[in-house]
Amino acid sequence: MTGKISRRTALKGAAASAWVAAGRDGVSPLRAQTAGAARPFTWAATGGTWGDTLKTIFVDPFFAAQSGPRPLQAAQLESVAAAKILANCGSSPYDVSDGPQSDYAMLNGASCIEAYDPSIITSLPDIFDEAKEGDYYAAFNILLFGMTWNTKEASKPTSFNDLGLAKYKGKVGIPAYGWYGMTWLHALNKQLGGSEDDITPGLSAVAELVKKNGAIIVENADHGTRLMDSGEIVIMPYWNGRTVRLQEANIPAAFELVPGTVLVGSGYSIMKGTPYPKLAQAFVQSTLDAERQLAFSQWSKYPPANKKIKLPPALENIAIPAGGLEKTAKLDWKKINEYRSPYLERWNKEVLNA
């Protein structure tokens, strides 16, 4: 023993440190977080006006009546929050998180979220079945990803197949896989006879659409709004609420709930390991309250998930038509989540390179 550290020993030490840092089975000490009870009640949601309105309608009134911890918003994309929750499974930096059921089905599969307590969350029976997932997710708003079209330059669509009409060549939009393309692909695939295990019919149809009609990839909701506003796109799979916003901006747009329309909820799930489990349950219950959901719908233009709510005349245009929910795609999120990576690769190769 000379007491000196050789280069080889140093490299071995660095490699061992990296191994420990990377952790076993996706649990890294480097990303460990102290789930101390002294922290504020952290609610994750997308930012911007969506986050601001959640705060005004749900968060502030709820915490005004509480004497415990104060709320703190963690604003980021829902998919980013989901990645962080998965990376910190069991010691999430958030107590509750808002997002679509697809992400929470994945997080539930990884045992990262807490089940709802029906003794506290008593409004669950009031929520549309399509807006719930297992015993861990219930939406407060229903977002429908159907067909939006320019009423001056396109005609009312009857199915997603209308995207392939020759008259729309070069003026068709499809969602990016990383936005809601993955979900829409599965919905379309099912309409074409495919299943979560066999994505080929859907992928072939989208590739054909891109090849023949020069479909433009829509990266996010704002991108879609801009493309509709500028007239670069006259028809695309898009949101019901966003279409109402387009109409309010005097853009000639309309929404159609075509067969296979994707129903995406916006709702809160409770993170496993939260130091405030009861408070989190009570908060989720407050998001299912009819009055608050209606208030949020008045701003968002998405219909509420509470089926007891009767929409006022001013909001009749956002109501889900009779039988509408039956037309939405029935998707197995657990299977979809298992295929996220291989189907992304196929999408990139077969659709984007078409």
Partner 1 sequence: MPALSSSLPGEAIAAYPPWIPGWVWLIGPYLLVLIGVLVLPLANVAAISVFTHDPRAFWSARLTGANYARLLDPYYVQVLVRTLRIGLITTVACAALGFPVAYWLARCSRRVVTIGLFLIVMPMMVSTVIRSFGWMVLLGRTGVINVASEALGLGRWLTIMNTEAAVVIALVQICLPLLVLPTMAAIEKVPVSLEEAASNLGAGAITVFRRVLIPLAAPGLASGALLVFVVAISVVVTPALMGGRSNRMLGNEIYDQVITAMNWPFASAMAIVLIAVVLALLGLSLAAGRALARRSVRGA
Strand positions, DSSP E, the chain: 41-45, 71-75, 96-99, 113-114, 132-133, 137-150, 173-175, 216-218, 235-239, 253-256, 262-271
Taking the C-alpha atoms of residue 160 and residue 23, their distance in angstroms, rounded to an integer, is 44
Report in angstroms how near the CB of residue 291 gets to partner 1 at its nearest.
Answer: 35
Cβ contact 182:336 at 8 Å: yes
40/109 with CB nearer partner 1: 109
Taking the C-alpha atoms of residue 125 and residue 295, their distance in angstroms, rounded to an integer, is 20
Q: Position of tokens 């809601």?
A: 180
167/340 with CB nearer partner 1: 340
Q: Which two tokens stand for residue 158?
A: 């009857």
135/219 with CB nearer partner 1: 219
9/17 with CB nearer partner 1: 17
Strands 216-218 and 262-271: unpaired
Q: Which two tokens stand for residue 311?
A: 């929409």
- C-alpha radius of gyration, the chain, whole number: 22
Report in angstroms how near the CB of residue 312 gets to partner 1 at its nearest.
Answer: 35
CA distances from residue 69 to 3, 34, 121, 241 in whole angstroms, order as listed: 52, 17, 20, 33
CA distances from residue 5 to 11, 18, 162 in whole angstroms, order as listed: 10, 18, 69
DSSP state of 141: E
Cβ contact 174:233 at 8 Å: no
Residue ranges binding partner 1 (CB under 8 A): 14-15, 17-19, 21-28, 30, 77, 79-80, 82-83, 86-87, 89, 106, 109-110, 176-178, 182, 210, 215-217, 219, 223, 226, 230-232, 337-338, 340-341, 344-345, 348-349, 351-353
Report in angstroms how near the CB of residue 319 gets to partner 1 at its nearest.
Answer: 32
Chain Cα centroid distance, residue 165: 29
Phi/psi at 266 (nearest 5 deg)? -125, 115
Report in angstroms how near the CB of residue 89 gets to partner 1 at its nearest.
Answer: 7
